[in-house]
């Protein structure tokens, strides 16, 4: 049995957009930052600590649930889910790294990420 791929509908998995694209001002600020630090050498960068954080929400209430959607099915009942006003508990992990070293991972429970 041959399958004609032209008859298979286009289906995509998507999650909601959460952040707007970079504005012209954001791009300009990033370029200015890069130009300021392009002349730094390894000793300069060795004095920097780079940090990051990640939030993990339990019970999948952070909008990351994905569904398979065909064109025109956006509001179909099987492509929607109810939402609650409280998403359950969350864990935030924070850590940092620098040249040849790193911080311990620090865990916070039930906090919001503001910046």
Residue 69: the pLDDT is 78
Residue 68: the pLDDT is 76
For the full predicted model, state whether its pTM sits above 0.75: no
Residue 66: the pLDDT is 72
Distance from first CA to last CA of the chain, Å, rounded? 55
Q: Provide the residue-wise pLDDT of the chain in tens; the chain has 115 residues.
A: 566 666 666 666 666 656 667 889 999 999 999 999 999 999 999 999 999 999 887 665 555 667 777 887 777 777 776 665 555 678 899 999 999 899 999 999 877 655 4
Give the DSSP letter string of the chain: ----GGGSPP-EEE----SPPPPHHHHHHHHHHHHHHTT--HHHHHT--EEEEEEEEGGG-SS---EEE-TT-TT-GGG-----S----EEEEEEEEETTEEPPPEEEES-----
């Amino acid at each position: 049995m041959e399958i004609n791929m032209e008859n298979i509908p286009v289906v995509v998995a998507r999650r909601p957009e959460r952040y707007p694209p970079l504005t012209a001002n954001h791009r300009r600020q990033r370029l200015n930052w890069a130009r300021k630090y392009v002349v730094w050498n390894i000793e300069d960068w060795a004095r920097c600590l780079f940090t990051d954080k990640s939030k993990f929400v339990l019970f999948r209430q952070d909008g990351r649930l994905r569904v398979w959607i065909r064109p025109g099915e956006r509001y179909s009942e099987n492509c929607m889910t109810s939402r609650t006003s409280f998403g359950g508990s969350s864990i935030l992990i924070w850590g940092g790294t620098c040249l040849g070293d790193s911080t311990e991972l620090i865990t916070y429970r039930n906090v919001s990420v503001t910046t």
